[in-house]
Amino acid sequence: MLYVFAVILVLLCAVICWQKIHSLAQKKKIESLEINLERSRNSLEVYEQQQSELQHRLTSLRIELGTLRQRNETLSPYQEIIDVEHYVIERHNQVELFAETVKFDAEQMLKQCRQRIEKVHHFLTEYERKAKEMSMLRAREKLGAFFHMAEERQHLAEISKALHHKIETYSQ
């Protein structure tokens, strides 16, 4: 009987230990569920707050939409004027673009004309130089000794002028 009592006592201790372990596990599960419930409540509060803000924003937007529709209805008779104004602005922009294009083209043309004038100037200068050279050669050929004498006379006139200038400088 002592044996039965010992077995019952051991069984009773085992059941109590098992119950205690099971109770602790249940307690941990309950605590975990309470934490999850608290998180869910917080998330729900945040969600409800966001929903409230969105609802308020939606109401504000609906009011603004109504105001804009009313304004649109009020201004609809003037839509043709607005269309004309847009047309005028568009045409004005096109004219400005055209004017800029014409101005650019004119500047390019002017630049090309200046380049051509410069080329013609160089050509004429070179032509004049060659013509003078040819004239001098022809004059030398035709006049011969007379041309040489004229050059000599010119050279002597330059020397005379230089000496006269020098004498005047010393006399002062």
Give 84-140 pLDDT, tens digit per residue.
899 999 999 999 999 999 999 999 999 999 999 999 999 999 999 999 899 888 877
Question: Which residues are within 8 A (CB) of 140 and not within 5 positions of it... i.e. 6 or more apart?
Answer: 147, 148
Q: How far apart are CA 30 and CA 17, in angstroms?
A: 19
- DSSP 8-state secondary structure symbol assigned to residue 78: G
Provide the pLDDT for residue 3: 80
* pLDDT given at position 6: 85
Q: Does residue 172 have a pLDDT over 70?
A: no
8 Å CB contact between 147 and 140: yes
Residue 15 has pLDDT above 90, yes or no: no
Ramachandran region, residue 58 (left: φ > 0; alpha: ψ -120 to 50; beta: rest): alpha
Cβ contact 147:139 at 8 Å = yes
- Return the higher-pLDDT residue of 105 and 4: 105
Give the pLDDT confidence score for residue 47 in this predicted structure. Answer: 92
Higher-pLDDT residue of 79, 69: 69
